[in-house]
Structure 1
């Protein structure tokens, strides 16, 4: 297909063409979340099947998206966006708490958001893998965003005398890998633990990164 079909114009049923188009886009994304995240998966889903699940036509699909990959890409960003919003909201409320309590609040919010719907885990940790160079670039870019988040909070902890100063980029990348792997395995039933225990383990790992053996706040603060 050379390009998208022309967009409808004008009002219908009291809604603008843009509002109708946005609703159809949402319905396609909802159907994608179900089919990619709980049904046959991205690779076994067709445009026709997605359109049927959304209660729309294939013509309407191509008015909203170019390919199924575009749907998966949008879902991947959406799921990560929800998790980031949850983490940032928790951080805002816990900003004045000690480091361990801040970290616990943030990772509990993140983990609770991601694991609240198993479809989200499958989309962001499974279905996105190996689809195309474009989606791999998006996946790594989104992971880099989480790494920057960790590094930013680590720098804030250093400034408050709560952590040992160093370059945290490699450690943060390794930690994000641990987060993704542990949450995926826990959701799949391969880790015999409660979500609280999973979060506690992640916080212990993060604190070890920020406060290595032999470091203490009193020593760091000494002249």
Structure 2
């Protein structure tokens, strides 16, 4: 299918076209979360599987997306945004905390946002890898945002005299790489440890890489 089909306008069953579209889109999102994030996975899922799980038709799917990769791409952005909101919501709570407590609180907020729904973790750390050059770029762009966030936190810590001056970009990139790698391995069952153990190990890496270890 080359492009999306334009949905019909007007009201139906008491709902405006925009309401019906939002409802359809969310049903496809939920189907994608279940099938990609908890079921057979993106590569083993067919378009008809998604439509059946959503209780909608293939025509309705093409009114929202061009293909299954479009759905996966939007789900990847959605789960990343969910995690980002969790971290930003925790930022005001870190005012006045010590360096270690502040960054511990922020990372635990990240971990909670990324793993509260196990489907989110599998999509973010497993399903999007190697799908296409487009999704690789999207994944790296989102990774770059987290690197920039860490560099910003490091710069503020330098200004407060909490850590020595320096270029923390490589340390931030190394840490984000460690998060993605370890969470991937934990998500697919290659790491025999509880989530709490994984989070604690990553937190120790963060504190050591940014000269914050007690």
Q: Return the TM-score normalized by structure 2.
A: 0.92
2:96, 2:104 → 1: CA distance?
13
Inter-CA distance 209–85: structure 2 relative to 1 (3 Å threshold): same
Q: Does 1:164 align with 2:164?
A: yes
Aligned to 2:14: 14
Matches within 5 A, 1:34-183: 34-183=34-183
Structure 1 window deviating more from structure 2 (200-209 vs 97-106): it is 200-209
CA shift digits 1:95-122 (9 cap, x unpaired): 2211111111111111122222221121
2:42 touches 2:127 (CA, 8 Å); kept in 1?
A: yes
Q: Does 1:210 align with 2:210?
A: yes
2:125 touches 2:187 (CA, 8 Å); kept in 1?
A: no
1:47 touches 1:68 (CA, 8 Å); kept in 2?
A: yes
* TM-fit CA distance, 1:15: 1.9
SS at match of 2:119: helix
SS at match of 1:28: helix
SS at match of 1:15: coil
Structure 1 window deviating more from structure 2 (162-171 vs 53-62): it is 162-171
* TM-fit CA distance, 1:212: 7.6
2:2 touches 2:66 (CA, 8 Å); kept in 1?
A: no
* TM-fit CA distance, 1:187: 4.1
Aligned to 2:4: 4
Inter-CA distance 4–185: structure 2 relative to 1 (3 Å threshold): closer
Aligned to 1:184: 184
The number of equivalent residue pairs is 214
> Structure 2 unaligned runs (5+)?
none
2:99 touches 2:212 (CA, 8 Å); kept in 1?
A: no
* TM-fit CA distance, 1:144: 0.4
* TM-fit CA distance, 1:27: 0.5
1:115 touches 1:187 (CA, 8 Å); kept in 2?
A: no
2:188, 2:66 → 1: CA distance?
32
Structure having the higher Rg: 1
RMSD: 1.9
2:63, 2:50 → 1: CA distance?
14
1:104 touches 1:200 (CA, 8 Å); kept in 2?
A: no
* TM-fit CA distance, 1:83: 0.8
2:21, 2:134 → 1: CA distance?
25
1:203, 1:49 → 2: CA distance?
39
* TM-fit CA distance, 1:194: 4.4
